[in-house]
Each structure stands twice: as structure tokens, then as C-alpha cells.
């Protein structure tokens, strides 16, 4: 009987106009997302290679490593990022490294093409998050109360059919009917990847498949939610309205409200505030520094006067001593300021992390956030991308700094005809994304939450239907 209900549900949906419309829209959007994603990836690869080549060419004229003041490193394109973009378009793809450290990232996709910042790209995450979740509601908002309105519920239950079988069949059938218009274009899109020569490793294929499973789980949440709401409301128009409100809250309001709330609860000092504090500290210190310098200089002057030795050697000795005092005080001051700035930055970083954790924690009550986090985590475009990239650039800037210091400390050979520097000697910048097990470990809590949402809502729909008034 379960099979019969599932097939009936599947057949009823497939024969409906809404299915035809859904299938058409889904196919168009998904294949378009794959195609444009692949094209974007290919142009990113070209741009990446061109930028690297251009970087080397800029060293061609340099005769000495002292003429190489800075180096730009680039974030290599990630094929999965073209399908689930996450923050990959927001962060700068290039980081400029000086011998003293690195500057902020620059040349983000959106800064280069601001029009995309307004309209954003169409990617698989957007299609799942917005379009397909709405379709899930459209498929199931009248699953129970609609059947009652049409009179088919009474007619069905005039037969010896257990309620549990019916609701289980109904949810399963609706889910399959929803998965079908999704999986066919997704499979077509996946086929495009090797056909258009996008190099995906086994690990990336697996991550892509897990992402699709996450998408199905996310749709399952809205589907079971729709069946649940349909089981606790009398009219299909009411359930549609409730579901629309829940969708708006879940997809649009909760994630933004959570960020706002956490922003109000935890204040992160701005960079300009840190700069102001640094200037304040420097000004305060300079007074102190001058006072201490004067004291020590006076002491040396008194010492000099007391000794009565006015020979040039003695004068030089005292001048050196004074210079030493200045130098020591300056170094001490620099250390103090540097420690203070580090502490300010660390505090800012910790606050930022705290704020981020709080925002994500609150917004996880929304399945939309959970799905976004799981999807971007799996495709390597989550907030972790920036942290990971920053960490790698920091490590590399140390390596580069050592390299360039070593090169620049070599004595200049003025009497020898100089050859140009060999940029191949510069240590390579490797951006190693997180390993598969780490990515999976990070995404697992969100996948589990999606699963829990499904189980809870399925049980809710199940129990609500067992108590449903069939009359």
C-alpha cells in the first residue's frame, strides 16, 4: 500500500502543471549555473596564470634584489567555488607582500566587476536556498488540507489504510517528485564538468555529491515543514501563508537579524579605532621617552663634566653613549608599541571571532543558514576560506621576508656587470586548502542539524496527521 501511495503522489505531482513549470525552471537555472560557473572558473584560471606570468615579467628588469620591493601572491581558482561561491568573490584574490609583511587582500571579483556585487552570481547554493525551497513549499503546502478540501482524503480513508502508511507515502512521494526535477539537470550539469575539462579530484567529486545530498536534506526540511503545517491548518490558503512567512523569516530575516544581534551584543573595535589608540599610545610614550632620555643624557653630561676629560676621544665616547641611550629607548618604545598594537589586534580578532560564533550560533535556528554553512564549508568557500588564505599568506610572508632579507644582505658588487634577478628563486606560494577530512569534520555538525530538522519535522507531520480530523 505504501508503494501505491508513493506512486500516486509521484504521478499526481508529475502530471500537474506546477511540476512542468518547476522542472522547466529548475533545469534552466541549474544548467545555467553549471555552465556559467564553469566559464567563470575557466576565465579565473586564465587570469590567474596571466597574473603570475605578469608578476615574473616585472622582475625581468630588476638588477638587484633591493629593487624588488614587493611580491603579489594569488589565490588559486577553486572549481567548486564557481558552483558554490560563498565568500570567494568577496575576498581579494591577490595579496601584496612586502619584506616587512603583507597588505590587505585586493582585487576581489566584486571590486573588479561591481555590477555583479549588485546582482550577484547565480550559483547552485542560491538555486537551492531560494528557488528550490520555494518549490518545496509549492509542492506540499496543501498536502493534507488540500486533499481534505478536494474530498479525496475521506475517500482514501474510507479504505482500510493506516494513517501512518498514508503520511509516510505522502512525504516520500512528494520528496521524490521534488528530487526528480532537481536531479536530472544536476546530473546533466555534473556531466558538463568533465566535458568542459574542469579538473575535479576524487575528493572534490565526493564533496560535490555531499553538497547535493545537503541540498536534498534542505529541501526535505521545507517539504516536511509544509506537510506539518498542512496537517495543523484547516485551509490550504492558510498553510501557504504561514509557510511563506516561515520561509521569509528563515531565509531572509533570521540570518541577517542574527548578525545584527551579535553585532549589538559584542562590539568589535574598528581598525580606525585601533589606529587612533596606536597614535594615542605613541603620543603618550613620546613624552615619557623624552623625559627618560633627558634624564639619562643629563646624567651622562654630568658624568662628562665631572670627569673633566674634554679630549675628542672622550667626547666621542660620550656622544656614542648618548646615541646608545637614544637607540635603546627607541627600541624599547618600539617594542612596547608593537606589543600594544599586537594586543589590540588580537583583542579585535578575538572579539570578531566571538561575534562570528554568536551570529552563526543564533542563525543556525534557520535551516537556510545551516544549509549555507554546510554548502560553503564543503565547497571551500565559507568564512574559513579567508582565515585559511590569510594564515597561508602570513606564513608565506615570513618565508618571503627571510628570503628577500637574505638576498638583500648580500654585498653589492658595483664593479661587476649586473645580471637581472632570477624570479624562479623566489619560494613558491602554495595555497593548500583544508584537507578532505577537515572539511567533512567542519561540515558534519551542519549536515547533522539538517538531518535533525528533517527528523523533527517528519515526526511533527506524522504526529499531527495521526491526530488529524479526517471529516
DSSP state of 471: -
Query: In sequence order, what DSSP letters do the residues of 419-439 get, joined into one string?
Result: PPP-GGGSPPP---PPPHHHH
471 binds other proteins (CB under 8 A): yes
**Which region among 9-17, 130-138, 190-198, 390-398 touches other proteins (by CB under 8 A)?**
9-17
| Least distance CB 179 / other proteins (angstroms) | 19
154 binds other proteins (CB under 8 A): yes
Q: Which of 39, 63, 150, 291 binds other proteins (CB under 8 A)?
A: 150
Distance of CA 10 to the CA centre of its chain: 37
CA-based nearest residue to 214, from 177, 240, 182, 246: 182
| Least distance CB 471 / other proteins (angstroms) | 5
160 binds other proteins (CB under 8 A): yes
Give Dmax over CA atoms of the chain in angstroms.
121
Is the torsion defined by CA of 391, 394, 398, 400 positive or negative? positive
**Which region among 158-166, 238-246, 358-366, 446-454 touches other proteins (by CB under 8 A)?**
158-166
467 binds other proteins (CB under 8 A): no
Q: Which of 101, 162, 199, 398 binds other proteins (CB under 8 A)?
A: 162
Using the minimum distance from each CB to other proteins, give the nearer residue, 3 or 327: 3
Using the minimum distance from each CB to other proteins, give the nearer residue, 290 or 470: 470
| Least distance CB 470 / other proteins (angstroms) | 5
Q: Which of 27, 51, 111, 156 binds other proteins (CB under 8 A)?
A: 156
**Which region among 37-45, 113-121, 145-153, 336-344 touches other proteins (by CB under 8 A)?**
145-153
- Other C-beta atoms within 10 Å of 38: how many? 20
Question: Is residue 311 left, alpha or beta, with left meaning phi > 0 and alpha meaning psi from -120 to 50?
Answer: beta
Q: Which of 45, 55, 161, 206 binds other proteins (CB under 8 A)?
A: 161
466 binds other proteins (CB under 8 A): no
107 binds other proteins (CB under 8 A): no
**Which region among 1-9, 64-72, 222-230, 318-326 touches other proteins (by CB under 8 A)?**
1-9
409 binds other proteins (CB under 8 A): no
Taking CA atoms, 425 is separated from 51, 60, 428, in Å, by 18, 13, 9
| Least distance CB 14 / other proteins (angstroms) | 9
Residues touching other proteins, count (CB under 8 A)? 22
CA-based nearest residue to 360, from 377, 380, 348: 377
* Residue whose C-alpha cell reads 528530487 in the numeric block: 179
256 binds other proteins (CB under 8 A): no
Determine contact, residues 138/247, Cβ cutoff 8 Å.
Answer: no
Enumerate the β-bridge partners of residue 97.
71, 102
Taking CA atoms, 252 is separated from 20, 232, 246, 363, 383, in Å, by 27, 24, 10, 11, 19
- Other C-beta atoms within 10 Å of 361: how many? 12
152 binds other proteins (CB under 8 A): yes
151 binds other proteins (CB under 8 A): yes
Determine contact, residues 304/318, Cβ cutoff 8 Å.
Answer: yes
Q: Which of 2, 12, 64, 445 binds other proteins (CB under 8 A)?
A: 12
Chain residues binding other proteins by CB under 8 A are 1, 4, 8, 11-12, 15-16, 150-152, 154-162, 469-471
Amino acid at each position: 500500500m505504501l508503494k501505491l501511495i508513493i506512486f500516486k503522489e509521484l504521478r499526481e505531482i508529475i502530471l500537474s502543471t506546477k511540476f512542468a513549470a518547476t522542472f522547466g525552471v529548475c533545469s534552466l537555472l541549474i544548467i545555467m549555473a553549471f555552465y556559467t560557473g564553469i566559464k567563470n572558473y575557466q576565465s579565473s584560471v586564465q587570469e590567474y596564470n596571466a597574473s603570475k606570468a605578469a608578476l615574473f615579467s616585472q622582475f625581468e628588469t630588476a638588477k638587484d634584489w633591493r629593487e624588488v620591493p614587493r611580491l603579489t601572491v594569488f589565490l588559486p581558482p577553486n572549481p567548486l567555488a564557481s558552483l558554490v561561491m560563498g565568500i570567494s568573490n568577496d575576498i581579494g584574490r591577490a595579496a601584496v607582500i612586502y619584506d616587512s609583511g603583507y597588505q590587505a587582500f585586493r582585487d576581489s571579483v566584486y571590486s573588479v566587476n561591481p555590477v555583479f556585487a549588485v546582482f550577484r552570481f547565480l550559483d547552485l547554493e542560491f538555486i537551492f536556498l531560494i528557488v528550490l525551497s520555494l518549490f518545496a513549499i509549492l509542492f506540499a503546502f496543501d498536502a493534507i488540507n488540500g486533499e481534505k478540501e478536494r474530498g479525496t482524503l475521506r475517500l482514501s480513508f474510507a479504505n482500510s489504510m493506516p494513517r501512518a502508511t498514508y503520511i509516510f507515502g505522502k512525504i516520500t512521494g512528494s520528496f521524490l517528485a521534488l528530487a526528480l526535477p532537481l536531479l536530472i539537470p544536476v546530473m546533466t550539469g555534473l556531466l558538463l564538468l568533465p566535458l568542459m575539462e574542469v579538473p575535479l579530484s576524487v575528493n572534490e567529486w565526493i564533496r560535490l555529491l555531499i553538497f547535493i545530498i545537503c541540498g536534498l536534506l534542505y529541501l526535505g526540511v521545507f517539504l516536511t515543514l509544509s506537510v506539518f503545517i498542512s496537517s495543523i491548518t484547516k485551509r490550504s490558503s492558510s498553510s501557504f501563508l504561514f509557510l511563506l512567512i516561515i520561509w521569509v523569516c528563515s531565509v531572509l530575516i533570521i540570518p541577517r537579524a542574527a548578525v545584527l544581534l551579535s553585532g549589538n551584543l559584542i562590539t568589535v573595535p574598528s581598525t580606525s579605532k585601533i589606529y587612533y589608540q596606536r597614535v594615542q599610545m605613541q603620543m603618550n610614550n613620546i613624552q615619557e621617552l623624552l623625559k627618560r632620555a633627558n634624564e639619562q643624557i643629563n646624567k651622562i653630561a654630568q658624568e662628562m663634566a665631572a670627569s673633566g676629560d674634554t679630549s675628542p676621544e672622550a667626547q666621542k665616547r660620550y656622544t656614542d653613549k648618548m646615541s646608545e641611550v637614544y637607540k635603546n629607548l627607541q627600541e624599547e618604545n618600539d617594542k612596547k608599541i608593537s606589543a600594544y598594537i599586537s594586543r589590540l589586534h588580537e583583542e579585535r580578532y578575538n572579539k570578531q571571532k566571538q561575534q562570528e560564533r554568536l551570529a552563526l550560533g543564533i542563525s543556525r535556528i534557520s535551516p537556510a543558514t545551516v544549509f549555507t554553512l554546510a554548502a560553503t564549508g564543503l565547497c571551500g568557500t565559507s568564512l574559513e576560506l579567508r582565515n585559511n588564505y590569510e594564515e597561508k599568506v602570513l606564513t608565506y610572508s615570513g618565508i618571503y621576508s627571510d628570503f628577500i632579507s637574505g638576498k638583500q644582505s648580500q654585498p653589492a658588487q658595483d664593479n661587476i656587470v649586473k645580471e637581472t634577478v632570477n624570479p624562479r628563486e623566489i619560494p613558491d606560494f602554495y595555497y593548500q586548502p583544508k584537507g578532505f577530512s577537515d572539511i567533512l569534520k567542519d561540515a558534519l555538525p551542519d549536515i547533522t542539524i539538517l538531518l535533525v530538522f528533517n527528523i523533527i519535522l517528519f515526526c511533527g507531520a506524522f504526529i499531527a496527521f495521526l491526530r488529524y480530523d479526517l471529516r
